[in-house]
Amino acid sequence: MISSVTHKILKKTHTPEAISERFAQGPSQIYLKDSIYGAIDGAVTTFAVVSGVAGAGLSSGVVIILGLANLLADGFSMAAGNYLGTRSENQYRASMRRREAAEIDAYPEGEREEIRQIYERKGINGEALEHMVEVITSDRTLWVDTMLQEEHNLATEDANAWLAGLVTFIAFLVVGMLPLVSFLANWVRPGLIAQPMLVSVSVTLCSFVAVGYIKGRYVNQGAWRSAAETLAVGVIAAGLAFLVGFGLQRLGVA
């Protein structure tokens, strides 16, 4: 059931004027995937480095050096990869747009039949179907957009590749820095934290839970289930790194 407050908000935002204004602004870009991806990977990979070094019995200085090096290098690598991936999607979308436009020019009847069958599969028939086909194919931009969405399952608007990469990088740095905070604090003031590794573990586990919880709340799904899922992924990654470091130390490699 919708609450009275939600009903009032929906009523206010669904007036003809509000709808017109919202549509005129165009679809908003959501960078949830980029921020969650960067935050989780930042925490997992940095804590994996911390765990691996701790498992090998190396000094706090090594933890800081390797942790910061990983934080910057891997964070930039992820951001660059996300930027290039998003840019590639935009380029592919542009390529398919040109292709569909060319096919409409070369064989309009065939493309018109594609529109007809697309909506026929959705259960539209008879005069309503023919009217829909006529409306869509009378507007070239709408025709191409419809083919992109329905035939190729592509969004019609490009995502901002630079912003996607930047969001990933910032999220990676902010959350990825947390496992190192206790070690950095002891570097600034030696002995400030008696058990830096224990603090690092606690802070990192909390960050896993927080990121997963926020993700779950944002997508309106089980927040605590999402938090548990993220926590499980982080614990497994960190545990594997710790075991590798511990194993190498026992073999005399580290």
Burial class (CB in 10 A: 0-12, 13-18, 19+), 23: exposed
Predicted confidence at residue 138, as pLDDT, reads 94
Summarised one tens digit per residue, pLDDT across range 95-117 is 999 999 999 999 999 999 999 99
Report which of 52, 51, 34, 36 is spatially closest to residue 227, judged by C-alpha positions.
36
Count the Cβ atoms, other than its own, within 10 Å of residue 197.
Answer: 17
Report which of 241, 190, 194 is spatially closest to residue 56, judged by C-alpha positions.
241
- Does the pTM of the predicted model rise above 0.85? no
Weakest-pLDDT range from 46-60, 78-92, 169-183? 46-60
Range picked from 26-30, 80-84, 227-231 for highest mean pLDDT: 80-84
CA atoms within 13 A on the CB side of 100: 26
Burial class (CB in 10 A: 0-12, 13-18, 19+), 99: middle
213 has a pLDDT exceeding 70: yes
Instruction: Characterize 137-166 residue by residue with b for buried, 16 or more Cβ atoms within 10 angstroms of its Cβ, and e for exposed.
Output: beeeeebbbbbbebeeebeeeebebeebbb
- The arithmetic mean of pLDDT across residues 39-64, rounded, is 77
- The pLDDT > 90 percentage for the chain reads 35
Block residue for tokens 């930039």: 76
CA-CA distances (angstroms) from residue 41 to 160, 179, 225?
A: 21, 12, 19
**What is the C-alpha separation between 177 and 82, in angstroms, rounded?**
20
At residue 252 the predicted structure's pLDDT band, cuts being 50, 70 and 90, is low
Predicted confidence at residue 50, as pLDDT, reads 79
Predicted confidence at residue 8, as pLDDT, reads 67
